[in-house]
Amino acid sequence: LPKRLQGSTPSVWNEYIALAMQYKPLNLGQGFPDDAAPEYVTQSLVDIGKDENPLLHQYTRGYGHVRLVQALSKLYCGLVGRELNPLSDILITSGAYEALYSTIMGHVDVGDEVIIIEPFFDCYEPMVKMAGGVPRFIPLKVKKTEGPISSADWILDDAELEGLFNSKTKMIILNTPHNPIGKVFNRKELERIAELCRKWNVLCVSDEVYEWLVFDGAEHIRICTLPGMWERTITLGSAGKTFSVTGWKIGWAYGPAQLIRNLQMVHQNSVYTCPTPLQEGVARSFEKELERLGQPECYFLSLPRELKQKRDFMAKFLSDAGMRPTIPQGGYFMLADWSPVADKVDLSSEPDKQRDYKFTKWMTKNKGLQGIPPSAFYSEPNKHLGEDFVRYCFIKKQENLDKAAELLSQWK
Ligand code: PMP
Ligand code: GLN
């Protein structure tokens, strides 16, 4: 095994998708919508299939299909308040996953330190290690002990954060709205991170795949818009999350040309170019939404409106079942503390090390309900911080959420 792969193990996704295939539970695990995407989005692929332009089925520009980078440039120009050159400031990738990979591989050198906020989307850590970088972790912690808990109650310790920055720090990876907590970082929190990035000349990678999914008036703030941050931020997005088509695996990175250039090199030497019909479909879908941006029927507003109902429904049935959910301000996941119901489960037959792995596997096998163990989103020394929790996904058909509620209400 080459050195860069030593210690790698199959990710939680590979393990839990296999588990779901074996036990066929009601799957609130991996994050994807189980309902139809907007009609015009899927219809775009039908139209592309019938289009008389045969080149829509051939290779397209390696750094991104021109119609798509143009649509993204138009969209983000309005959102970040500056011109984006579609050819140099945006890279189209194979999902936000590859955008993360190209960013990390393109900027992290052997021995560079990368600050990762825990819990984190699980691939950040192995990607940093693969690049030869050194991850440095800092956990979000709940400071509140009583009453309902919001994702806003999960906060970073300021002194701890400041203490992580040093002359070896190359990058910090931020994720807002956050997976799995649902935290939407507020302006003050982002300003503090920005201040430290400027002080230590650190790059900020901002994973904003859930940028449209915010509730209760929470505001999604793009850190690249804060003073002095454009030149040091690479922002990532996902068509899968934006249009509810996670299987399309089209993502992007945007930022200043001199930072995006490194990503282009990794991309051209690994993926080269993403599927043309899918990029064309995403471009047409953005063009449609650009026409009605900010209007109530715009999908970027109608989806979070719909999702908020599902979030509230899930929070209620988890609370009714005795668990303690954290109410997310954004994204489509909910963390719940299951320790109050620990006496209802018998985990002795599950060999895993972490209690949340035992719990989620037991639930899949015995109650037919699957969630994700959050300790997968922590570094080894901090995995205990995730063990009392389970992550459920609420971007599911109402009938499936009803079934989950029913399963839990019958659980004695
Ligand atoms: N970042 C976060 C925080 C995610 O939850 C996901 C999950 N899809 C990704 C990146 C990867 O996105 P994509 O599916 O576009 O590769
Ligand atoms: N982002 C999704 C989740 O967190 C999907 C995970 C993945 O694609 N690996 O469940």
Give the contacts of 405 (CB within 8 A, at least 6 positions apart).
313, 317, 320
Residues 138 and 100 in one domain: yes
Domain at 229, CATH number? 3.40.640.10
Strand partners, 169: 113
- The confidence score (pLDDT) of residue 368 equals 97
Question: Within a 13 Å sphere around the CA of 101, how many CA atoms are in the beta-carbon half?
Answer: 17
pLDDT digits (tens, 9 = 90+) for 296-346: 999 999 999 999 999 999 999 999 999 999 999 999 999 999 999 999 999
Q: Whose atoms come closest to the Cα of 119: which ligand?
A: 1
Q: Which of 17, 27, 30, 124 to mutate to test the pocket of ligand 2 (most atoms within 8 A of CB)?
A: 30
Q: What is the pLDDT of residue 146?
A: 85
Mark whether 321 and 232 lie in a shared domain: no
* Same domain assignment for residues 368 and 312: yes
Å from CA of 121 to ligand 2 middle = 8
102 with 196, same domain: the answer is yes
Whether the CB-CB separation of 290 and 74 falls below 8 Å is answered with yes
d(CA 288, CA 281): 11
Q: Of the candidates 291, 316, 344, which is a domain's last residue?
A: 291
Q: Is the CB of 13 under 6 A from ligand 2?
A: yes
Residues 53, 21 share a domain: no
- Our answer on whether the CB atom of 182 is closer than 6 Å to any ligand 1 atom is no
Does residue 212 sit in the same domain as residue 321? no
311: closest CA among 295, 340, 333, 287?
A: 333
| DSSP state for residue 330 in the 8-state scheme | B
Token pair of 399 as six digits: 């009938």
Say yes or no: 329 and 231 in one domain. Answer: no
Would the CB of 17 count as within 6 Å of ligand 2?
no
Torsion of CA 386, 390, 396, 397, to 10 degrees: -170
| Mean pLDDT in order along the chain per 10 residues (412 residues) | 88 95 96 96 98 98 98 98 98 98 98 98 97 98 90 98 98 98 98 98 98 97 98 98 98 98 98 98 98 97 98 98 98 98 95 97 97 98 98 98 97 84
Q: Domain limits at 401?
A: 3-37+298-409
Pocket of ligand 1 contains residue 242 by CB under 6 Å: no
pLDDT tens string 163-185: 999 999 999 999 999 999 999 99
Q: Do residue 10 and residue 100 come from a single domain?
A: no
- Which ligand is nearest to the Cα of residue 236, counting in written order? 1
Taking only the tens place, the pLDDT of each residue in 107-144 is: 999 999 999 999 999 999 999 999 999 999 999 999 88
Query: From CA 119, how far away is CA 138, in angstroms rounded?
Result: 9
pLDDT at 3: 87
Within this chain, do residues 186 and 103 fall inside the same structural domain, yes or no? yes
pLDDT of residue 147: 86
* Helix, strand and coil percent figures for the chain, each rounded to 5: 50, 15, 35
- 376 CA distance to ligand 1 middle (Å): 15
Of the three residues 291, 320, 340, the one that is the final residue of a domain is 291
The count of domains in the chain is: 2
Same domain, residue pair 316 and 281: no
User: Rounded to the nearest 10 degrees, how much is the dihedral formed by the CA atoms of 343, 349, 353, 354?
Assistant: -30
In a shared domain, residues 203 and 108: yes
CATH code, domain carrying 303? 3.90.1150.10
307 with 159, same domain: the answer is: no
H/E run at residue 303: helix 299-320
Tokens (6 digits) for 304: 């979070």
The response to whether residue 31 sits with its C-beta less than 6 Å from ligand 2 reads: yes
Domain final residue, candidates 265, 291, 317: 291
Q: What is the pLDDT of residue 219?
A: 98
